[in-house]
Amino acid sequence: MTRSHGARKNTRNKLRRRKRERGLSTISRAIQSFASGERVHICIDPSIHKGMPHHRFHGMTGTVKGERGRAYIVEISDGKKHRKKELFVRAEHLRQQVL
């Protein structure tokens, strides 16, 4: 059997929810809003496929630069490449950074 090269390969543990958190997420996660310049954590919700960033960005923290449609433009710094990257992520996959 040939090896899969899909977008969700090697994510068996990363994109799995705990037993009591399974199912659809709450509506409050989808309607949350973020202001420009706000710091957010990228925490992928595997039950919502739309607006999901690549799994390599799971757990990173970035800054909201603006909106594009229903998604937010999140700027992160890629440590290995020493440059900024812009991601288009929907609100369901973002959490506000608490100081």
pTM, 2 dp: 0.88
Structure confidence at residue 7 (pLDDT): 85
pLDDT confidence of residue 52? 94
CA–CA separation, 12 vs 74, rounded Å?
A: 25
> Could you report the average pLDDT of every consecutive run of 10 residues in the chain (99 residues)?
87 92 91 97 94 94 97 92 91 93
Indicate the domain borders of the chain.
Answer: 19-96
Residue 79, pLDDT score: 80
Q: What pLDDT, on a 0 to 100 scale, did the predictor assign at position 4? A: 86
Domain 19-96 has CATH 2.30.30.70: yes
CA atoms within 13 A on the CB side of 90: 15
pLDDT for 42: 97
The pLDDT of residue 8 is: 87
Question: What's the pLDDT at 3?
Answer: 87
Phi, psi of 39 (to 5 degrees): -90, 135
| H or E element, residue 27 | helix 27-30
